[in-house]
């Protein structure tokens, strides 16, 4: 049996003997790629995005929930990143993901 040293601040429970990072980037939306993330839930809802810059568009992006990826920091430490909700680019040749500025969009379901 293992035990954890925890501290509770209001409704937040913090483990004192683990390195856990919780971050809210404040992004209005983020586009991730299927090649770099393990996705728990596919919603079947798709979006076409028109970005803040002329010509920055993307289509057929599925809304997904609970997307995980492994990131390696500059010092070599590895951390698991979880995005609660994101738009997923299914292009197998795409190699990057990026947060986008507030954008206009159209929504449709498959």
Tens-place pLDDT, residues 51-105? 666 677 777 889 999 999 888 888 888 888 888 888 898 888 876 555 444 444 4
Domain that holds residue 40: 23-109
Task: Give the torsion through C-alpha atoms of 82, 5, 73, 52, to 10 deg.
Answer: 40
Element (H, E) at 69: strand 57-72
- pLDDT-derived band of residue 19, with 50, 70 and 90 as boundaries? low
Q: What is the mean pLDDT of residues 37-63?
A: 83
Whole-number average pLDDT of the chain: 74
- 40 part of a folded domain: yes
- 68 part of a folded domain: yes
Q: What is the pLDDT of residue 80?
A: 86
- 13 part of a folded domain: no
- 71 part of a folded domain: yes
> What's the total number of domains in the chain?
1
Q: What sign has the CA pseudo-torsion 24, 25, 26, 28?
A: negative
Nearest to 39 by CA among 62, 58, 72: 62
């Amino acid at each position: 049996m293992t035990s954890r040293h925890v501290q509770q601040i209001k409704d937040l429970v913090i483990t004192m003997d683990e390195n856990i990072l919780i971050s809210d980037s404040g992004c209005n939306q983020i586009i991730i790629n299927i090649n770099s993330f393990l996705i728990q839930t596919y919603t079947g809802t798709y979006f076409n995005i028109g970005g803040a810059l002329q010509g920055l568009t993307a289509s057929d992006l599925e809304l997904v929930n609970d997307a995980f990826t492994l990131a390696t920091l500059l010092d070599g430490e590895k951390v698991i990143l979880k995005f609660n909700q994101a738009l997923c680019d299914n292009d197998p040749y795409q190699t990057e993901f990026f947060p986008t500025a507030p954008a206009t969009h159209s929504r449709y379901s498959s």
